[in-house]
Amino acid sequence: MTITDIFSNVIELTDERWRHIVREHIEIEPYKERIHEVLSTPDYVKKSKRDADVLLYYKFYSDIFDGKYMLVATKKGLRSFILTCYITDVIKKGKTLWEKN
């Protein structure tokens, strides 16, 4: 599956990465269809402090655990792809590349 993000980058979600995500973060499984929304219309996009090629996309959903962010972490490169995805209530510190007005 490929998704175009808010910056017009094409990002891939491979079967291997999806299996990793649901193995490590089982709570995300019902929300797979929302990954597209998080990447294309995020509330925030942050640059990872650990890896300059990793972007963190956040979108708030009031119906996920009474109000949480869905985070999609992507790795930029010749072939950009989703590293992981999980539910959080914390937005990591770091450089903000995009913020919804």
Residue ranges covered by each domain of the chain: 2-99
Please state, rounded to an integer, the average pLDDT across all residues of the chain.
96
Contact 12, 72 (CB under 8 A): no
Q: Which amino acid is at 49?
A: K
Please say if the pLDDT value at position 101 is more than 90.
Answer: no
- Residue 18 pLDDT: 97
HEC sequence for 18-85: HHHHHHHCHHHHHHHHHHHHHHHCCCEEEECCCCCCEEEEEEEECCCCCCEEEEEEEECCCCEEEEEE
Over residues 12-37, the pLDDT tens digits come to 999 999 999 999 999 999 999 999 99
- Residue 74 pLDDT: 98
- Residue 95 pLDDT: 95
Please say if the pLDDT value at position 87 is more than 90.
Answer: yes
- Residue 94 pLDDT: 84
